[in-house]
Amino acid sequence: MAKPDLMERVVNLCKRRGLIFPSSEIYGGFRSTWDYGPLGVLLKRNVKDAWWRSMVQLRDDIVGLDAAILMHPRVWEASGHVQAFTDPLVDCRNCKERFRADHLPESGACPNCGAEGSFTEARQFHLMFKTHVGPIEDDASIAYLRPETAQGIFVNFLNVQTTTRKKPPFGIAQIGKAFRNEITPGNFIFRTREFEVMEMEYFVPPEDGPRWYEYWCQERLRWFVDLGIPEEQLRLRPHDAEELSHYSAGTSDVEFSYPWGWGELEGIANRTDYDLKRQSEYSGQDLSYYDQDADRRYVPHVIEPALGSDRCMLAFLLAAYREEEVRGEKRTLLRLDPRLAPVAVAVLPLSRNERLNPVAHEVADLLRPRFMIDVDDAGSIGRRYRRQDEVGTPLCVTVDFETLDDRAVTVRDRDSMSQDRVPIDKLVEHLEELLPQ
Ligand code: ATP
């Protein structure tokens, strides 16, 4: 499939099947903001659960946190955001469009109108959203919407370390909304002004920073492959010297091959001791760690994998989208990993019939506590299979007239379309085997 088509088809599918809607649509939408519908919210939740499971649940060296979005404004002075969280902005004198100077094509022509040499000098544009806390809108009441969740972790370093008694190397993971007043949002949910990030700060003894940085680069790449993104659609790109943030001792992007080319999916940075030192300096609190065994005090270095859950969901959708021909008919399907699929099992009575209905409900009630299910009895069975394929439901359970006699159902697989007959009293066990966590 031609790549621009792929993006268009995924966007259409998201709208048509209730995964993602334009925000405030009845008013004509609002500046690249998006709402997640019934199936979208399930997919996004599964993406976040998969991340949380791999980061927190399956490890004994990482704990979770959920810090407030609004924080003391000094936090953002200490982090450097108030002073330096800017992007260079240029205007095209011809069509008046604005662009990030660091995202312009090499040709130097305007990506919108094609004019040559039409750009203004670059100006620095501040990316943090400002608001006021309390009834008076003056300088003393300024607060910022956080542009990353990481600082919430750094300012809680001591709280978490002392209450959990974790010793470096250990990490703190957080999922939450972040806000950036992006100059050029776009490409659907790839770049938006309000988005969600999944960030983990891993605190290590200073000399171990480079080793753990390498470890997290490989580990994060592995996570995407394990959840079904083909290796050839991923690559690790180390930043070169000019691109590196001033505090970083190394940054690599996990890049994905989007329909418009390679682009960042996740960033992994060796942030050194910069953040803890700065928050220490600005707050006057000692954020160092005393290592009793070695009898030494140090400020830990930090390795940070940071991934947008919206952007990540887009990559999973793009990688999963397929159109196939089956017996002369087209079927669209999302080959999502079953751990990510919005609905795990669809229960489909063969037809709308008063004898089948009670059994279908019995099966649905049996499965509901274990799996996210959908019950659909409208239209032909073939059409209902297609509707489930299109949103990536890995398994369909069909209740037919034979079920009334043999107390067995048909389990149909999304990818192979193979069908197995399974007794109702073995069904949960059977599905659990097919849908490992
Ligand atoms: P860029 O240079 O593309 O603006 P960045 O390098 O500033 O991005 P990071 O600060 O590394 O981005 O953010 C970490 C992750 O958060 C990114 O890899 C991406 O997955 C996600 N992310 C960042 N900005 C946005 C956004 N505006 N919309 C959606 N996701 C975002």
Cβ–ligand 1 distance for 306 under 6 Å, the answer: yes
Distance between CA atoms of 87 and 193, rounded to whole angstroms? 14
Whole-number Å distance between alpha carbons of 351 and 398:
10
- The per-residue pLDDT for range 221-262, each reduced to its tens digit, is 999 999 999 999 999 999 998 888 878 889 999 999 999 999
Cα 102 to averaged position of ligand 1 atoms, centre (Å): 14
Q: Tell me the mean pLDDT in the region 155-173.
A: 97
Chain segment 295-308, per-residue pLDDT in tens: 999 999 999 999 99
Task: Report whether residue 393 contacts ligand 1, using a CB cutoff of 6 Å.
Answer: no
CA angle centred on 326, ends 383 and 377, rounded to 5°: 15
Structure token pair of residue 60: 């004994």
Question: Of 367, 347, 368, 374, which Cα lies nearest the Cα of 426?
Answer: 367
Check residue 246 and give its pLDDT: 78
Report, as an integer, the average pLDDT of 370-399.
96
How do residues 323-332 score in pLDDT, each as one tens digit?
999 889 899 9
Nearest CA residue ID for atom 29, ligand 1? 191
Question: Does residue 191 have its Cβ closer than 6 Å to ligand 1?
Answer: yes
State the distance from the centre of ligand 1 to the C-alpha of 308, rounded, in angstroms. Answer: 7
* Residue 398 CB less than 6 A away from ligand 1: no
Mean pLDDT of 382-403: 97
Distance between CA atoms of residues 272 and 288, nearest Å: 13
Contact between 229 and 316 under an 8 Å Cβ cutoff? The reply is yes
- On whether the CB atoms of residues 340 and 39 are closer than 8 A, the answer is no
The predicted structure's pLDDT at residue 196: 98
Main-chain dihedrals φ then ψ at residue 99, nearest 5 degrees: -140, 155
Bridge partners (DSSP) listed for residue 258: 261
To test the pocket of ligand 1, the residue of 20, 197, 268 to mutate (highest count of ligand atoms within 8 Å of its CB) is 197
Determine what percent of the chain is predicted with pLDDT higher than 90. 87
Distance CA 94, CA 101 (A): 16
Helix (H), strand (E) counts: the chain? 13, 23
Give the rounded percent of residues in the chain with a pLDDT score beyond 70. Answer: 99
Peptide bond into 169 cis (omega under 30): yes
> What average pLDDT does this structure show over 54-64?
98
Q: How far is CA 103 from CA 90, 108, 183, 245, in A?
A: 10, 10, 11, 17
C-beta of 304 in contact with ligand 1 (< 6 A): no
Residues 334/390, Cβ–Cβ less than 8 Å? yes
Q: What is the pLDDT of residue 316?
A: 98
Q: Whose CA is nearest to atom 25 of ligand 1?
A: 191
Residues pairing with 22 in the sheet: 34
State the Cα–Cα distance between residues 207 and 202, nearest whole angstrom: 14
194 lines ligand 1 (CB under 6 A): no
Q: Quickly tell me which residue has 């008076």 as its tokens.
A: 136
The answer, yes or no, to whether residue 4 has pLDDT greater than 70, is no
CB distance 311 to ligand 1 below 6 Å: yes
pLDDT at 1: 67
Residue nearest ligand 1's atom 3 by CA? 264
Predicted confidence (pLDDT) per residue in 20-53, tens digit:
999 999 999 998 899 999 999 999 999 999 999 9
**What number is the average pLDDT over the span 72-96?**
93
**Residue 151: its pLDDT value, please?**
98
Ligand 1 touching residue 147 (CB < 6 A): no
Closest atom of ligand 1 relative to the 190 alpha carbon: 29
Report the side by side order of strands in the sheet with 123-126.
98-100, 86-91, 123-126
Query: Distance from the CA of 116 to the center of ligand 1, in angstroms?
Result: 29
The closest-lying atom of ligand 1 relative to the alpha carbon of residue 193 is 27
* Average pLDDT of span 265-273: 97
In degrees and rounded to multiples of 5, residue 113 shows phi and psi of -110, -5
Q: Residue 268 Cα, ligand 1 centroid: separation in angstroms?
A: 11
Residue 359 above 70 pLDDT? Answer: yes
Rounded distance between C-alpha atoms, residue 381 and residue 52, angstroms: 36
- pLDDT averaged over the chain? 95
Task: pLDDT band for 140, please (50, 70, 90 cuts).
Answer: confident
Q: Residue 139: is its pLDDT beyond 90? A: no
Alpha-carbon radius of gyration of the chain: 25
Q: Separation of 410 CA from ligand 1 center, angstroms?
A: 44
DSSP string, 189-239: TTB-SEEEEEEEEEEE-GGGHHHHHHHHHHHHHHHHHHTT--GGGEEEEE-
